[in-house]
Structure 1
Amino acid sequence: MYSEFHRENILNPKFRELGVGYAYEDYSTYHHYWVQLFRG
């Protein structure tokens, strides 16, 4: 919640649906990848 942009999206009452995705890759720099999708 320290990111104002993310905070506004998470708390926006117009969004009624949330999608979350996760992927893991052994050979990448960061290994863990997350995505969130807000839909109104």
Structure 2
Amino acid sequence: MAVVPMGCLVVVFVSIVCCAIITLPASIQAQSSSPTSD
């Protein structure tokens, strides 16, 4: 894990950030839209 290409780390980091940006607002909207839907 110490010998990992910088590009790989960048891809993983960007993926995590994008995932967070996509999921966070979606979760908030879902809760606001249907509070007790589950």
TM-score (norm: length of structure 2): 0.24
Whichever structure has more strand as a proportion of its residues is 1
Rg (Cα) greater in structure = 2
Whichever structure has more helix as a proportion of its residues is 2
TM-score (norm: length of structure 1): 0.24
